[in-house]
A = this chain, B = another copy of it.
Amino acid sequence: MAFHYPNGQPYLNNEVPQSKKQATRPKATTLFGKRGMSLEEELNDSNQYYRSQSMAVVYKKPTPIQIVKVDYPARSQAVIKEAYFKQASTTDYNGIYQGRYLDFEAKETKNKTAFPFRNFHQHQIEHFRACLQQGGICFVIMKFVPLQRLFLLPASELITRWDAQADGARKSIPLEIVIKQGYEINYQLNPTIPYLSAVDQLIAYQVKRSN
């Protein structure tokens, strides 16, 4: 009689030594990103893939730095000897996808039930507002680290809830709202974070709503 795992795979008792069994055990169906990569690295990796396939041109902007002192040693490269991190005026990522301007921020939380607003700054909200007004596709890529779940949340939803804080609304977005208003992104091999599929859904929704 053949035994099967709950996922339907047959159980084959081939007497493989325990050590080898460990190495060849079937891969989990959920890919948890490339091992040890941060959300930023995963996105850079995905953007590189999209560029290499001529699917989109998106980059993370460099971290803004206030340079105070630079040394120019003879015959060698300039060395920055004193500099400070500056607050960015915009979001971290932007670029072009099939004629459309994309603008987004990537954030992760250790929270399991809601995404706290302290992850955002007022100037990022204002930047989203300005880009939306010009017709940009704006969103946040949110990662709930303990759940290993990733979502694309439209910036319009973030802005509505951010603004409601002033009227005493809660200072975070509940996971169930992110699930309802956002688009879940499942990790895969290449690109690691296939966010353009979620962007397609967001565009389709916007087109439908505007008709």
Which residue of the partner chain B has the closest CB to A56? B134
How far apart sit A97 and B101, CA to CA, in the bound complex (Å)?
A: 9
Question: Counting CB contacts under 8 A, is A96 at the interface?
Answer: yes
How far apart sit A33 and B88, CA to CA, in the bound complex (Å)?
A: 27
From B77, B86, B98, B130, contact of A57 by CB (8 A): B130
Task: Tell me whether B90 and A96 are in contact (CB under 8 A).
Answer: no
Task: Tell me whether B80 and A84 are in contact (CB under 8 A).
Answer: yes
From B81, B85, B131, contact of A82 by CB (8 A): B81
Per-residue contact bits, chain A 35-66, to B (CB 8 Å; 1 contact, 0 not): 00000000000000001001011010111110
Q: What is the minimal beta-carbon distance from A49 to any residue of chain B, in angstroms?
A: 14
From B89, B96, B98, B103, contact of A103 by CB (8 A): B96
From B54, B59, B63, B134, contact of A90 by CB (8 A): B59
Identify 26 residue pairs between A and B in the complex whose beta-carbon atoms are under 8 Å apart, listed by A's number: A54-B130, A54-B133, A57-B127, A57-B134, A59-B89, A61-B61, A62-B62, A62-B63, A62-B65, A62-B86, A62-B88, A65-B65, A65-B80, A65-B83, A78-B84, A79-B82, A79-B84, A81-B81, A96-B131, A96-B134, A97-B134, A98-B134, A99-B100, A99-B101, A99-B134, A100-B101
User: Which 4 pairs of residues, A with B, have the shortest CB-CB distance?
Assistant: A99-B135, A62-B64, A80-B83, A96-B101
Besides A59-B89, A99-B136, 12 more A-B contacts (Cβ < 8 Å) are A56-B134, A65-B65, A65-B83, A77-B85, A78-B85, A79-B84, A94-B94, A94-B95, A95-B101, A96-B134, A99-B100, A99-B135
